[in-house]
Structure 1
Amino acid sequence: MAGSRYVVVGAGLAGAATAWQLAAGGHEVTIVEQSVPANDAGSSHGSARIFRYAYPDPFYTGLVVRSRAGWDELVALGGRRLITPTGSLDFGARRDPEGIAAVLAGAGVEHELLPAAEAGRRWPQIRFDTSVLWHPGAGVIDARTAVETMLDLAVAHGAQLLTGWPVAAVRPHHGGYRLESAHGAVLDAGHLVVSAGGWLPQLLGQLPLPEAFLAQFPALQVRQENAYHFPYRDQPGQEEWPTFIHKAESIQAYGLPGGRDAGFRGQKLAEYNAGRVLPSAAAQDGLIDPANRERVIDYVRRHLPGLEPEPYAETTCLFTNTPTEDFIIDRAGNITVLSPCSGHGAKFAPLLGQLAAGLATGEPTVPEAFRPSLAAEGARL
């Protein structure tokens, strides 16, 4: 049996970031991961996640600005390239490029608002159906390398990483908590940080949390999303391809250079929030939805002339959604629950680690929108 003041459950982007911040702050930290860090069954694997500033809500754009400083620090400390600059395009009848441009202007983020014809001349590999917002500060996050870098830094500060450690039970114990693994190992914690991604719905009820806290907790929806890699038609590589978000009337699609995941020869495409709903991540089967594949292929035929309309690789991944798409960073007693979810959390990882570590150590700087328990105390969210 071993003990640690802070135990972080889950070694994905959010858990790794929190462990790094706690360990760098001089705290005793143990990270437990049911498999291995950034494994393919979770939400933090692979080399391709979008980093972007473009949000219709100034609140989130402001958080991206803060998060970028954390990424720059992480790169400086870890010595690894974590964000490949590509720029990003936003367009479509339901995307409101003009409104997002106003948000970026208010945040001082470089951008251009272009007519569809001009955007088509600059990016002939894409067909545009509305005006287009371009912001060059966007890029592609290497999620797996980011996780590895943050864990390396945490371990360098004295943290312990335990892999192959699935949590089976958590019980109050001597003013803290006793964790039991599915294999019979035991670990004691003074404070618990739970960052379990798509496994959170099934784990939440096993935690010794107050009923009032659970009553205010948003319903979590886990989806098994489908993603596809389409080969570039005429170009030798991905240098000319930006990331993009296209919200048309019939489909919400996003794309980005697939990087290492795609052998550096294709664009990663997906329909947003179109995957099968699961009770939890444990129910995933990794099977592609044929109807979804056909919709995305049809989308490529109609909107992306720069790609061959037949995927050469495909995969599934997990989205864990809240009803508002806001994150959860909340605390009850000495348990901090962290779910930076809804398919857009990766870009905030360093900042979310700072916020979660601060909440766990008694420095509550988490925005109220991320703390549903405050509603029970009469706070206005």
Structure 2
Amino acid sequence: MSRVEPRADVVIVGGGVIGSAAAWRLATRGKSVTLLEQFEPGHRRGASHGSSRIYRQAYDGEFYTALAGRALPLWRHLQDTTGTEVLTLTGAVDHGLPAVVELRARSLAALGIRHEVLEPCSAERRWPGIRFDTAVVHHPEAGRLHADRAVAAFQEAAAQAGADVRHGIVVESLHSHGHGVDVVTPDAVVRGRHVVVAAGAWSHRLLTRASDPAPRLPAMRTTQEQPAHFVPVTGPDWPSFVHHPGALLTTAGIYGLGSEDGIKIGEHGTGPEVTPETRTFRADPAGVARLAAYAARWLPGVDPGSAVADTCLYTSTPDSNFVVDRIGAVVVAAGFSGHGFKFAPAIGELIAGLVEGTAVAPEPFRFGTREAVTAR
């Protein structure tokens, strides 16, 4: 018979960036928190590993721009709390289809965020490693996050605040009852007054095993994506960048940024559909060839023949909006792949508010069906 542990205020299932950020924000509010992660620290099986993610505030509407703005002081607070540098401000640029770039400039302007609109030739003089397409907007309070260090820092800060952070714990099922939720593992029943499911590509499967009431999740798609790192041949002054298709770029959109591993570029959601068990960890040669061709055309500051590909799981909703909502004692945080990492500490704050009953899910994040739209 499995042992039954004393009831915690909150049990969090999933120790990626979102679950770890939630553990930190909940523990700092005085909650007793148990964080359960199925793999070892620093593992590469999910969506939160690696040396780099983009931090930017430029979006096509004020909702995400404001959310990214709320995350920025929390990233800085995390650094101060742990003494770990996770955020480097290099600035960020969007370029490509003018209508798309102009929407981002308007969102930044509406919220009073410092930015500038540039001609491609001016942008190329400033950042000679990049060729720019048609319309350009730059905002300086942007840059990159170190993914591995960020996850570790969230867990360290959570532990400092009293959270119990455990690795190598597989959650088999959830059972809701009048006193909270029983989280069943092979060796124990971990009881919580609330549970937060932030298990990435494993979330949907786990929630199908949960007792009523069950959340109505939108259909989510998991793919194996394959960004690649290229050796730079120009100096270190690389902004984060997003190249939107529709002007001179007629293929998929591209994101990119500098990192400790080189200049990283990738496509958005173009990899093969997989499950956590069927992913191969092998990059598709055709996808790598597309990135090399892009680098040869648009990135004079890299060696296009130097691609080193990586893979990661990428779980997203049809409309690219996240799921962050509560039903009963269960809070679900899912569908963050593609653009969610930058928001992690602000999402952690929202999760804490949902647990406490002091916040409600924003309309874009609520349970229910979603219509497919172009990615932001």
TM-score by length of 1: 0.90
Which of the residues 129, 135, 149 maps onto 1:145?
149
Per the alignment, residue 344 of structure 2 pairs with 349
Aligned-residue offset at 1:192: 0.8
Matched, 1:221 2:221: yes
How far, CA to CA, are the matches of 1:19 and 1:123 in structure 2? Answer: 39
> Which letter maps to 1:96?
V
Q: How many residues are aligned here?
A: 362
Per the alignment, residue 189 of structure 1 pairs with 192
Which of the residues 18, 39, 47 maps onto 1:35?
39
SS of the residue 2:310 aligns to: strand
Matched, 1:102 2:106: yes
Per the alignment, residue 167 of structure 2 pairs with 163
How far, CA to CA, are the matches of 1:311 and 1:254 in structure 2? Answer: 18
Per the alignment, residue 359 of structure 1 pairs with 354
Aligned-residue offset at 1:305: 1.1
Aligned-residue offset at 1:96: 2.1
How far, CA to CA, are the matches of 2:26 and 2:106 in structure 1? Answer: 36
Matched, 1:172 2:184: no
How far, CA to CA, are the matches of 1:86 and 1:142 in structure 2? Answer: 13
Is the CA contact 1:48–1:141 (under 8 Å) kept in the aligned structure 2?
yes
How far, CA to CA, are the matches of 1:252 and 1:17 in structure 2? Answer: 29
Per the alignment, residue 271 of structure 1 pairs with 267
Per the alignment, residue 374 of structure 2 pairs with none
Is the CA contact 1:228–1:313 (under 8 Å) kept in the aligned structure 2?
yes
Which of the residues 319, 326, 333 maps onto 1:331?
326
How far, CA to CA, are the matches of 1:207 and 1:36 in structure 2? Answer: 25
CA deviation vs aligned residue, 1:227-269 (integer Å, no higher than 9, x gap): 111101244xxx211111002221211111122xx1xxx2011
SS of the residue 1:269 aligns to: strand
CA deviation vs aligned residue, 1:83-104 (integer Å, no higher than 9, x gap): 1111111111277222211111
Is the CA contact 2:174–2:206 (under 8 Å) kept in the aligned structure 1?
no
Structure 2's unaligned 5+ residue stretches are 371-376
Is the CA contact 1:199–1:282 (under 8 Å) kept in the aligned structure 2?
no
Aligned-residue offset at 1:293: 0.9
Identity rate, percent: 38
Structure 1's unaligned 5+ residue stretches are 376-381
Per the alignment, residue 378 of structure 1 pairs with none
Is the CA contact 1:209–1:332 (under 8 Å) kept in the aligned structure 2?
no
TM-score by length of 2: 0.91
How far, CA to CA, are the matches of 2:159 and 2:329 in structure 1? Answer: 23
Matched, 1:60 2:64: yes
Aligned-residue offset at 1:342: 3.5
CA deviation vs aligned residue, 1:328-373 (integer Å, no higher than 9, x gap): 1111110111115131111111110010011012112431221226
How far, CA to CA, are the matches of 2:225 and 2:108 in structure 1? Answer: 29
How far, CA to CA, are the matches of 2:211 and 2:306 in structure 1? Answer: 46
Matched, 1:204 2:207: yes
How far, CA to CA, are the matches of 2:173 and 2:134 in structure 1? Answer: 52
> Which letter maps to 1:360?
V
Is the CA contact 1:42–1:318 (under 8 Å) kept in the aligned structure 2?
yes
Written as runs of structure 1 = structure 2, the 5 A alignment for 1:294-305 is 294-305=289-300
SS of the residue 1:165 aligns to: coil
Which of the residues 9, 20, 23 maps onto 1:16?
20
Matched, 1:247 2:248: no
> Which letter maps to 1:286?
F
CA deviation vs aligned residue, 1:66-111 (integer Å, no higher than 9, x gap): 1112112222222221111111111112772222111111111111
Is the CA contact 2:78–2:157 (under 8 Å) kept in the aligned structure 1?
no
Bigger shift: residues 354-363 or 90-99: 90-99
Is the CA contact 2:218–2:368 (under 8 Å) kept in the aligned structure 1?
no
Per the alignment, residue 233 of structure 1 pairs with 233
Aligned-residue offset at 1:173: 5.0
How far, CA to CA, are the matches of 1:71 and 1:329 in structure 2? Answer: 20
> Which letter maps to 1:48?
S
SS of the residue 2:51 aligns to: coil
Root-mean-square deviation over aligned CA pairs:
1.9
SS of the residue 1:268 aligns to: strand
> Which letter maps to 2:85?
R
